[in-house]
Structure 1
Amino acid sequence: MKAFLYGQEDPDKYLWHDHFDVPEPENKKQVQVKVITAAVNPVDYKLPHLLRGSRVKGQPIGYDFAGRVTRTTDDCEYQEGDMVFGKALKGCLAEYTLTGVDHIARVPPQIEPKIAAALPVASLFSLQVLRLGGCGETQGEGKSVLVIGASSGVGSSVVQIAKANGCKVYAVCGPSSIDFVKSLGADVVMDYSKEGFELPNDDCPAGTMDMVFDSVTSPVDPNYEPTARRTLKAGCKYICGHSPSKMDWARYLVWYYTGINVQRKNYSLLWTNTNPADLNKLSQLVMDGKLKININDLPFNEANCRKAYELLKSRRTKGKIVLVMEK
């Protein structure tokens, strides 16, 4: 099968393979899927650095997909031909992938495969990060949420799901994304490129936010936390999609694997928990018109796979980039 891979010697140097082995289910909890659409995410190119590269070398890239089940076991709840979406176990920028039955849900007929493929990482993260911040489905009414990086794949979903949860949304983005972010429902939109911009400010005063979600701060981007944290009410959470501090990640991993929370006070990172119930929740939000995904779609080939990651790293895309294997 055709596949786009992490390099064998250097996982940052991607490879195209025309005859990569088709993966086979290894147990009854796995199914084989013919990929129809696959979305890319920043975690794809950050993963080799988080895992030191050894576990991903020579493997297909990517997590988000939608496709058709092609092989199952006899007692599986899914049948060959079922349209599903979710998280791949061994990469999805390939014609076939493996996934776990606990990591997928059926694609409703009302939802296009390219929309379904864009949901699992970014929108699932958004759904769960709002719960972590106390602004989830039953918690959000009347609360205020600040979203830094509101035009990104994750940020744009956080804005919309927060609005669906009854929150007032304050958003930070670049000048070219202001109209897009307003169209998502953000109540207050701030342009970070304006001279003298900082947080807190008159539009987003100190001590007024119930939660801050920061999708920008990372080892290679500006660190908003020292100033943006001051917008929070006492005791409320600052949640970051990626931290420039290795110690923050170490603390988070202790919490993730042991349940003992040793993270900094009122600060958290988050890994998504991919599960059918939350995937179905996202499908319902899409069908209800409360979650709209802006799609930049490209045909699946080597040049477009490379282009997709160049665009992603530029941080100038609005919404999600999706590779289309078949119409």
Structure 2
Amino acid sequence: MKAIVYTRYGSADVLQLKETAKPVPKDHEILVKVKATTVTAADIRARSFTVPPVFWLPARITLGLRQPKKEVLGAELAGEIVSVGKDVKRFKKGDQVFAESLEDFGAYAEYKCLSETGPVSIKPSNISYEEAAAIPIGARTALYFLRKAAIQSGQKILVYGASGSVGSYAVQIAKYFGANVTGVCSTSNVEGIKSLGADKVIDYTSEDFSKKDELYDVIFEAVNKSSFTDCMKVLKKDGTYINITEPLPSVRMLWTILTTGKKLILSRNAPETPEALNFLGELIEIGKLKVVIDRSYEFEEIVEAHRYVEKGHKKGNVIINVE
């Protein structure tokens, strides 16, 4: 089968299209013919090995000390099951599914084996494979952190970085839970965020959210580009600050925790179970969640796709059509 392989860390140019062995499903695994995958921040970090210094050694041990342990990237996918292991009960041949493959990557290939008990679910019938491939990480991350913050109907939430993959899902899921949502994005994305249901949209190029006369119950930092001090100015005294990219608290954050009633939820891995994907699939089916796609690339154009995502200006998700 064809796969995108990398044998050393580096720029997007380390990615190469090669012929590799087609996997065979184990007793509790399904074999998926991959129709579409994506380029996520996780793929970029693993390929280039750009991780916070404090996590350098653990990341090297996990990803590979001298060279990558897993030569095929790809953290989410959608496709059709072509065979199943003898003990599989949840799925059957012909099922259309979408799944996360962050634990061992591997979605940059024509076929991928997945555990039937892992983060895999039936694809919503009202969306394409391309759209389904863009759900597992961004939407699941947004859902996980909003649940951790116990978002409630009537609360005010500010989503900073509302036009990205996680941010665009956070806007919609918060609205589904009944929150009053303010999105922060650039000028070119204002109308798009309004179309996702945001009650208000702040263009950060012309307005400063921290100087507005409004306080929020939850601030959801999706891109780690806002000032923590500015966020604290507009966060209610018992509010919750979420930062999905910052793994460790700064001194300022620790002081806030110790001296105020404000709560902080920082970066962590969400549980990799099918429950979240099942729930998100249901939201898609009833029209409460929409997938935002920035660009689509062919399998052979994956180097170009990585270069584009690495610039840090994508809107929503970047898709790779494998088939």
TM-score normalized with structure 2 length: 0.84
Residue 11 of structure 1: how far off its partner (Å): 4.7
* Aligned counterparts of 1:128 and 1:268: Cα–Cα separation in 2: 12
Residue 230 of structure 1: how far off its partner (Å): 2.4
2:71 is aligned with 1:72: no
Tell me, which stretches of 5 or more residues in structure 1 are unaligned?
250-263
The equivalent of 2:217 in structure 1 is 210
1:120-155 C-alpha deviation (Å, 9 max, x unpaired): 0001111111101111xxxx2101111000000110
Distance 1:65 1:185, change over 3 A: same
* Aligned counterparts of 1:270 and 1:247: Cα–Cα separation in 2: 10
Question: Are the counterparts in 2 of residues 150 and 171 from structure 1 also a CA contact under 8 Å?
Answer: yes
* Aligned counterparts of 2:157 and 2:9: Cα–Cα separation in 1: 40
- Matched residue of 1:35: which SS? strand
Question: Are the counterparts in 1 of residues 72 and 108 from structure 2 also a CA contact under 8 Å?
Answer: yes
Name the aligned partner's letter for residue 109 of structure 1. Answer: S
Question: Are the counterparts in 2 of residues 36 and 66 from structure 1 also a CA contact under 8 Å?
Answer: yes
Residue 224 of structure 1: how far off its partner (Å): 2.4
Residue 295 of structure 1: how far off its partner (Å): 2.0
- Matched residue of 1:76: which SS? coil
* Aligned counterparts of 1:226 and 1:166: Cα–Cα separation in 2: 27
The equivalent of 1:21 in structure 2 is 21
The equivalent of 1:259 in structure 2 is none
Residue 314 of structure 1: how far off its partner (Å): 2.4
Name the aligned partner's letter for residue 210 of structure 2. Answer: P
Name the aligned partner's letter for residue 310 of structure 1. Answer: R
Deviates more, 1:173-182 or 1:95-104: 95-104
Name the aligned partner's letter for residue 110 of structure 2. Answer: E
* Aligned counterparts of 1:286 and 1:151: Cα–Cα separation in 2: 19
Residue 57 of structure 1: how far off its partner (Å): 4.7
2:102 is aligned with 1:105: no
Residue 316 of structure 1: how far off its partner (Å): 2.5
Question: Are the counterparts in 1 of residues 174 and 181 from structure 2 also a CA contact under 8 Å?
Answer: yes
2:303 is aligned with 1:306: yes
Matches within 5 A, 1:141-156: 141-156=153-168
Distance 1:298 1:200, change over 3 A: closer
Q: 2:229 aligns with which of 226, 229, 235?
A: 226
* Aligned counterparts of 1:189 and 1:231: Cα–Cα separation in 2: 16
* Aligned counterparts of 2:157 and 2:28: Cα–Cα separation in 1: 38
Name the aligned partner's letter for residue 129 of structure 1. Answer: F
Name the aligned partner's letter for residue 16 of structure 1. Answer: Q
2:198 is aligned with 1:186: yes
Residue 22 of structure 1: how far off its partner (Å): 2.2
Name the aligned partner's letter for residue 108 of structure 2. Answer: L
RCO (CA 8 Å, sep 6+): is it higher in 1 or 2? 2
Name the aligned partner's letter for residue 87 of structure 1. Answer: E
- Matched residue of 1:189: which SS? strand
- Matched residue of 2:142: which SS? helix
Distance 1:265 1:287, change over 3 A: closer
Distance 1:224 1:57, change over 3 A: farther
* Aligned counterparts of 2:180 and 2:146: Cα–Cα separation in 1: 13
* Aligned counterparts of 1:234 and 1:20: Cα–Cα separation in 2: 56
Residue 186 of structure 1: how far off its partner (Å): 1.0
TM-score normalized with structure 1 length: 0.83
- Matched residue of 2:112: which SS? strand
* Aligned counterparts of 2:147 and 2:45: Cα–Cα separation in 1: 25
Deviates more, 1:49-58 or 1:126-135: 49-58
Name the aligned partner's letter for residue 216 of structure 1. Answer: V
Residue 49 of structure 1: how far off its partner (Å): 3.4
- Matched residue of 1:38: which SS? strand
Question: Are the counterparts in 2 of residues 95 and 325 from structure 1 also a CA contact under 8 Å?
Answer: yes
Residue 90 of structure 1: how far off its partner (Å): 3.2
The equivalent of 1:286 in structure 2 is 284
2:320 is aligned with 1:319: no
Residue 84 of structure 1: how far off its partner (Å): 1.1
Residue 73 of structure 1: how far off its partner (Å): 1.5
* Aligned counterparts of 1:81 and 1:166: Cα–Cα separation in 2: 37
Q: 1:200 aligns with which of 178, 194, 210?
A: 210
Distance 1:58 1:74, change over 3 A: closer
1:263-314 C-alpha deviation (Å, 9 max, x unpaired): x952322322232222111111112111111224534333x21222222222
Name the aligned partner's letter for residue 128 of structure 1. Answer: Y
The equivalent of 1:165 in structure 2 is 177
- Matched residue of 2:281: which SS? helix
The equivalent of 2:4 in structure 1 is 4
Residue 12 of structure 1: how far off its partner (Å): 4.2
Tell me, which stretches of 5 or more residues in structure 2 are unaligned?
52-58, 251-261
In the alignment of these two chains, the number of paired residues is: 294
Question: Are the counterparts in 2 of residues 173 and 190 from structure 1 also a CA contact under 8 Å?
Answer: yes
